[in-house]
Structure 1
Amino acid sequence: MKIDDQITPVSLQKSLDHFWDLSASKIESIERDYDPSAGSPVFTVDGRYQTRGWTEWTQGFQYGSEILQFDACGDPEMLQRGRNNTLEKMAPHVTHFGVHDHGFNNVSTYGNLLRLMQEGRIEQNDWEQRFYEMALMASGAVQAKRWTTLPAANGPAENNNDAGYIYSFNGPHSLFADTIRSLRSLSVAHQLGHNLMEENDRKVNLLHRVIQHARTTAEFAVYYGEGRDAYDIPGRTAHESIFNLNDGQYRCPNSQQGYAPFSTWTRGLAWIMVGFPEQLQFLATLDDSELEPVGGRAAIESFMLKAAQATCDFYIDHSAADGIPYWDTGAPQLHRLGDGYLDRAADPYNEHEPVDSSAAAIGCQGLLRLGAYLGNRGDSDAAIKYTAAGLTILRTLLDEPYLSTDDSHQGLILHSIYHRPGGWDNIPAGQKIPCGESSMWGDYHIREAALYVQRMAKGEAEHTFYLA
């Protein structure tokens, strides 16, 4: 991509104002016309949100969007909707043992509401605060329970519980790239003083599991150009990492929603891009003594920063000039786009391979957070680079052909891809590939990125998932 190093948050304010106006209208349309009895809205077909019976991993994005809309614009009706929907509909997600998505569903709802109360944006109410806290503590413990233990050789032991990872809904053998962002549920629960209680009242430290999962992800899901295999390109990521549960040994990369185990599905890349920088920001709020049992601050920050920079650099190098990536960097028909296709703006209406705006919406926040983290460490050159890259991507997304300006379309950001190998994405009439549709995760994460930059532009407190 071509980074505009002159771009500033303030220069995007007019676009942000327009964005939030559109965002409100999309939320209103879904609230008015979508039938919740069908299940959670997942992605659009011909501009109307549809469900997809897999797991209900997008409901927190739906109601979290109402809360973010209030955060950005102060609309009390949006706040009331977000509160009511969280109270009435999100409880099953708090105790859902079958998924790895707690950071998506519960931090986006209960977490945002608790954060707003701590910021003084919602009137203090002790019982309401305790309700949110209890939900977040339970969510963090439930997510941490979904644990596969690996041999101690893969990391330091802790409380007789060796290194490991939160396993995906595919089963205990499966580590997903996505889950690095669901660590938010464990981090917040730890902040609230909670532990996972196992047999015989053994306490499992949730922060330690954050570090252990992040270390496993950094070691096996991210490549560094160190000769791991014939396709070891620095920053490349594997969507899924497979382990042999008989002996705990790593076996191979895999991909559920990408093209191949040895290519990079760009939304999986984006989850890692944002997951590591925001955990680095969170760790900066902790005392060194909390990190000593799992390797110490220097070692932990080192592997996290290495993974964050590798993936962010890979994204920059493998996205189109305007910062939008194609859905997979190894997609089989990319060569048909012609030489230098990354040197020009992405073409969502091409005939060969789709772009994925949701990967851009997620990834741009990772770049912004990495820039902020490095800036606080005094690395000004790197901070400027990553911040400018994030702002460049956001500017692209805040304009057509990505910003959905059609009142009849319920999506906010167009040209999102869900499951290309599974054929789940709509191909509109007259087109040869999926395009023109939106996803609930893409719409939520563009709102998060827009809120993050709006606060930068106004000199307000940084938007974070963790508590002050």
Structure 2
Amino acid sequence: MPTCSRLAPYFFAALLGGLTAGCVTTTRVAQTTAAAPVLDVAKELAYCAAQARKTVDQKSNYTRQPRRIGAGKAQWEYVSREDWTSGFWPGTLWYVYETQPTAFWKEKAQGFTQDLAPVLDHKTVDHDLGFQFYCSYGNGYRLTKDPAYKQVLLRAADSLAMLFNPRVGTILSWPRMVKQMNWPHNTIMDNMINLELLFWASKHGGSKKLYDMAVSHARVTSRNHFRPDGTSYHVAVYDDKTGQFIKGVTHQGYADNTMWARGQAWAIYGFTMAYRESRESEFLDRARKSADIFIQRLPADQVPYWDFDAPDIPNAPRDASAAAVVASALLELSTLVPDKAAAQGYRQQAERMLVTLSSAQYQARDQSPAFLLHSTGHKPNGTEIDASINYADYYYLEALLRLQKLQQNKSLSVVEK
């Protein structure tokens, strides 16, 4: 792919209305003279609280978590605490409590959060403990300082660390896939998000080794999980004994050589967070390269198709969850890049995405108690296609809170350092 980085080192390639033709860059995005559309953040936060209230009013106890609402349906399908997404609903409730700090919301957030604790009584079966516990207990600890929450987080971090392979330098994501797919040691891009649990624990009484594991995982992922153009594989497969990188493949994207939207979103979010925690320049560069190619290839409304290379575009399903993850990540990235033009570009891009997500086209409103429509979970498996999904709602609300904090000149820390 040609580059024009010398001519325009901070060229913003994706504006509403389409892509800029001609020379593009895969290494830097940034400045645009067009102002971002105005978003009434307080209004959208109130909308999320009202939608969440619909769900809690329908749920009589704290067991089982809302996960998805299928296309054309109006009610949540619920999952057990063992489901990888089980931390998103309690995390969403903590965010609602942050916007409306009442006893009602605190009680609901606490109830769903505490239901997750028994997960740690069982053998660690995959990498998702960060999603499950950092989103729930992490936000709970940030907002309440409950020492019991801190102990659960430290325990979760130690459990996650059990999957770290020092010969490879990364966490084993899916133990079940070792035999099922003949992937001796597999690491998926989603795992980058779970590193935040390790970073946090290393600073709050956990072992320093947790920090080292997180940095190692990010380094190895940065060097093996990406193609030259900045797009990422979903899965990196390694020899579990030598640590040698074997191949990059996809599991939830269209093909091994395509850019699966949510996988690329995890990369943007994960490496932004890894840079915040470690200040390793490699991670900032990787976050920016991942973001730039994502932004460059967005459709006009700024919400990606489930895979940027799906053969049936423009009729392919969208993935609002990927847009929500990226919007949140770009807001934080805008606070970390060294130049003001780039920072402004990333923030304006995030605001454009949030404007679209907050429109009648993407908000559920009266259709269901979810926040957002039009997410895609696992298209190759035929599941959660054009659906409402709990992690889309979680990151959408997180992005709105981050934008509000930026407007108020506050820290964006999801969990207090």
TM-score, structure 2 length as denominator? 0.85
Distance, in Å, in 1 between the alignment partners of 2:80 and 2:56 is: 20
- Which stretch shows the higher mean deviation, 250-259 or 93-102? 93-102
| Amino acid paired to 1:462 | S
What residue number does 2:140 align with? Answer: 113
Distance, in Å, in 2 between the alignment partners of 1:178 and 1:131 is: 27
> Is 2:95–2:397's contact at 8 Å kept on the other side of the alignment?
yes
> Is 1:69–1:75's contact at 8 Å kept on the other side of the alignment?
no
| Amino acid paired to 1:134 | Q
Distance, in Å, in 2 between the alignment partners of 1:173 and 1:54 is: 26
Distance, in Å, in 2 between the alignment partners of 1:146 and 1:140 is: 11
| Residue 325 (structure 2) pairs with residue 362 (structure 1) | yes
**Please, which of 127, 132, 152 is the counterpart of residue 135 of structure 1?**
152
What residue number does 1:312 align with? Answer: 291
Aligned-residue offset at 1:8: 6.1
What residue number does 1:62 align with? Answer: 89
Aligned-residue offset at 1:38: 8.5
| Residue 118 (structure 2) pairs with residue 92 (structure 1) | yes
| Residue 389 (structure 2) pairs with residue 389 (structure 1) | no
| Residue 209 (structure 2) pairs with residue 205 (structure 1) | yes
| Residue 20 (structure 2) pairs with residue 2 (structure 1) | no
What residue number does 1:321 align with? Answer: 300
The equivalences for 1:47-446 within 5 A come to 47-51=74-78, 56-87=83-114, 89-95=115-121, 97-117=124-144, 129-150=146-167, 163-169=169-175, 170-171=177-178, 173-195=185-207, 205-223=209-227, 225=228, 234-284=229-279, 301-334=280-313, 337=314, 352-374=315-337, 377=338, 379-406=339-366, 408-425=367-384, 434-435=385-386, 437-446=387-396
What residue number does 1:21 align with? Answer: 46
Structure 2: stretches of 5+ with no match in the other structure: 1-13, 17-31, 179-183
| Amino acid paired to 1:387 | R
Structure 1: stretches of 5+ with no match in the other structure: 119-128, 152-162, 196-203, 226-233, 285-300, 338-351, 426-433
User: Alpha carbon RMSD of aligned pairs, Å?
Assistant: 2.3
Aligned-residue offset at 1:244: 2.4
Aligned-residue offset at 1:357: 0.4
Equivalent pairs, count:
380
Aligned-residue offset at 1:149: 2.9
Aligned-residue offset at 1:323: 1.4
| Amino acid paired to 1:235 | G
Aligned-residue offset at 1:76: 3.0
- Which stretch shows the higher mean deviation, 361-370 or 169-178? 169-178
Aligned-residue offset at 1:72: 1.8
Q: Which string of whole-angstrom CA distances, capped at 9 and with x for unpartnered residues, describes residues 351-392 of structure 1?
A: x31010000000111111111101xx3x11211111111111
Percentage of pairs with the same residue: 26
**SS of equivalent residue, structure 2 residue 309:** coil
**SS of equivalent residue, structure 2 residue 47:** helix
What residue number does 1:449 align with? Answer: 399
| Amino acid paired to 2:318 | V
Aligned-residue offset at 1:178: 0.2
> Is 1:20–1:73's contact at 8 Å kept on the other side of the alignment?
no
TM-score, structure 1 length as denominator? 0.76
Q: Which string of whole-angstrom CA distances, capped at 9 and with x for unpartnered residues, describes residues 186-207 of structure 1?
A: 0111111212xxxxxxxx7100
Distance 1:82 1:424, change over 3 A: same
> Is 1:326–1:356's contact at 8 Å kept on the other side of the alignment?
yes
Distance, in Å, in 2 between the alignment partners of 1:413 and 1:20 is: 13
| Amino acid paired to 2:199 | S
| Amino acid paired to 1:78 | W
Distance, in Å, in 2 between the alignment partners of 1:32 and 1:184 is: 32
| Residue 62 (structure 2) pairs with residue 41 (structure 1) | no
Distance, in Å, in 2 between the alignment partners of 1:370 and 1:69 is: 23
Distance, in Å, in 2 between the alignment partners of 1:73 and 1:33 is: 20
| Amino acid paired to 1:401 | Q
Q: Which string of whole-angstrom CA distances, capped at 9 and with x for unpartnered residues, describes residues 203-254 of structure 1?
A: x71000010010111111122x2xxxxxxxx220111111122432211111
What residue number does 1:123 align with? Answer: none
Aligned-residue offset at 1:143: 0.7
